[in-house]
């Protein structure tokens, strides 16, 4: 049985790690990250399924001690405002359920910076200087760590274990902690580990590392769980009329383009392990709808010309009209996608030179291919 890397880990932390180990390879734990306190995502999942995910991710960005509100845009201030009191929500939820908590921290620059200063482009903070004794950067780094440790201590005292994922995506340079490379981010992680384990005795933390590069790995003695970032977005339409009619979001194409661009920027090109399992990257799904072959081709062309081999596509044919569909309002959707239409979409992708795509064979347009969304066993 795997034991926590912290030899003084709490009973609750050890039990959680054992649960994760026992589940690995045998089941999937449903989870949802909540960036803001309103948690619209959880409300939506509960509305659709009648249940809530067992694992819930909370974000600590609003607890950063050095938020420069005088030099911040509206989007930044809104995100900070909506993120406030998330730890109160997390504490309440943890006490009232048997769910699993995971915390991430978009850490606003400890020294200087503007707007969303966890982004490298918005701060001059040099993480490499944190590694040198006596620097202002090191002092600010430890000051912020102490502030956050105070909040985490409340969960420790309450016996609530946390999957703690600091310095995420450190294989990229978009966050300040990764701006000088994964080796520096690794050293920051080790400083935090030592401080939180040996000084603050936060024995409720399970330590999660999120970097795909070997040179950034802190070592098995300091990591309980290794995580990867994979985005699996849908790209439904480029036709604004379809977006307005079927999703009541005429601006969907432009929003989807911007969101996808950010995903690819963060993950870079797809990376697979020796088993062929994706470790990092973006897989863009497109579900062909009845009568929408022309728009499907436009989507495929846009994705290929914009991203080439930096993404994988998943071209899906299993659209299945359900009894709940308003067949009077949407008669064109009250049928399956003809086999020839899907074949034309696949042939078109091949003609463009698309090499990285998942396609489907056989009849998948059945209700048996639709998940029951019962969350049974979770």
User: Average pLDDT, whole number, for the chain?
Assistant: 91
Please state whether beta strands 100-104 and 31-34 pair in parallel, antiparallel, or not at all (unpaired): unpaired
DSSP states of 246-297: HHS-TTHHHHHHHHHHHHHHHH-S-EE-TTS-EEEEEEEEEEPPTT-HHHHH
User: What does each C-alpha distance from 111 to 122, 126, 138 come to in angstroms?
Assistant: 11, 9, 10
**According to the model, what pLDDT value does residue 262 have?**
87
- Residue 366 has a pLDDT of 47
> Does pLDDT of 230 surpass 60?
yes
CATH annotation of 231-369 = 3.20.20.70
pLDDT at 367 over 80: no
Mean pLDDT of 349-371: 73
Closest-CA residue to 303 (of 348, 343, 344): 348
Mean pLDDT of 8-23: 96
Residue 363 pLDDT: 58
Whole-number pLDDT of residue 368? 41
User: Percent of the chain, pLDDT > 70?
Assistant: 96
DSSP strand pairing (205-209 vs 162-165): parallel
Residue range 11-227, CATH number: 3.20.20.80
Q: Sorting pLDDT into bands at 50, 70 and 90, what band is 377?
A: very low
pLDDT in tens, 57-71: 999 999 999 999 999
Phi, psi of 270 (to 5 degrees): -60, 140
- Element holding 82 (H helix, E strand): helix 74-83
Structure pTM?
Answer: 0.77
Q: Residue 323: its pLDDT value, please?
A: 81
User: What is the structure's pLDDT at 362?
Assistant: 58
Nearest in space to 36 (alpha carbons), one of 64, 60, 67? 60
Angle subtended at Cα 98 by Cα 169 and Cα 63, rounded to the nearest 5 degrees: 45
- Residue 47 has a pLDDT of 85
Taking a C-beta distance cutoff of 8 angstroms, is the pair 307, 264 a contact?
Answer: yes
Domains 11-227 and 231-369 share a fold: yes
Helices (DSSP H) in 158-274: which residue ranges? 182-194, 240-247, 252-267
Nearest-10 crossing angle of helices 252-267, 293-307: 30
Q: What's the average model confidence in pLDDT over 189-217?
A: 95
Q: Distance from first CA to last CA of the chain, Å, rounded?
A: 21
In tens, the pLDDT along 105-156 reads: 999 999 989 999 999 999 999 999 999 999 999 999 999 999 999 999 999 9
The domain locations on the chain are: 11-227, 231-369
What's 198's DSSP letter?
I
Average pLDDT over residues 201-217: 93
Tokens of 39: 């948690």
């Amino acid at each position: 049985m795997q034991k926590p890397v912290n030899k003084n880990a709490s009973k609750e932390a050890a039990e959680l790690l054992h649960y994760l180990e026992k589940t690995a390879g045998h089941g999937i734990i449903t989870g949802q990250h909540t960036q803001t306190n309103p948690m619209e995502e959880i409300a939506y999942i509960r509305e659709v399924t009648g249940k809530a995910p067992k694992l819930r991710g909370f974000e600590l960005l609003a607890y950063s001690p050095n938020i420069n509100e005088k030099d911040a845009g509206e989007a930044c201030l809104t995100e900070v405002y909506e993120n406030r009191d998330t730890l109160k929500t997390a504490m309440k939820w943890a006490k009232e359920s048997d769910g699993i908590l995971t915390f991430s921290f978009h850490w606003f620059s400890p020294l200087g910076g503007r707007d969303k200063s966890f982004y490298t482009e918005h701060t001059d903070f040099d993480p490499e200087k944190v590694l040198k004794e006596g620097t202002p950067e090191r002092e600010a780094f430890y000051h912020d760590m102490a502030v956050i440790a105070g909040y985490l201590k409340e969960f420790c005292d309450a016996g609530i274990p946390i999957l703690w994922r600091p310095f995420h995506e450190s294989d990229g340079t978009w966050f300040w902690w990764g701006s000088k490379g994964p080796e520096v981010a690794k050293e920051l992680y080790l400083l935090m580990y030592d401080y939180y384990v040996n000084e603050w005795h936060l024995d409720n933390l399970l330590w999660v590392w999120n970097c795909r590069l070997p040179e950034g790995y802190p070592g098995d003695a300091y990591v309980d769980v290794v995580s990867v970032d994979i985005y699996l977005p849908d790209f439904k339409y480029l036709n604004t009329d379809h977006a307005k009619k079927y999703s009541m979001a005429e601006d969907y194409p432009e929003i989807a383009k911007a969101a996808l661009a950010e995903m690819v920027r963060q993950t870079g090109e797809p990376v697979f392990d020796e088993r062929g399992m994706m470790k990092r990257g973006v897989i863009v799904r497109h579900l062909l709808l009845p009568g929408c072959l022309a728009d499907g081709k436009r989507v495929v062309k846009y994705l290929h010309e914009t991203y080439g081999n930096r993404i994988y596509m998943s071209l899906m044919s299993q659209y299945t009209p359900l009894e709940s569909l308003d067949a009077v309002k949407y008669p064109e959707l009250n049928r399956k996608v003809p086999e020839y239409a899907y074949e034309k979409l696949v042939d078109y992708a091949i003609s463009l030179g698309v090499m990285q795509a998942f396609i489907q064979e056989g009849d998948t347009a059945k209700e048996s291919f639709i998940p029951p969304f019962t969350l049974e066993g979770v």
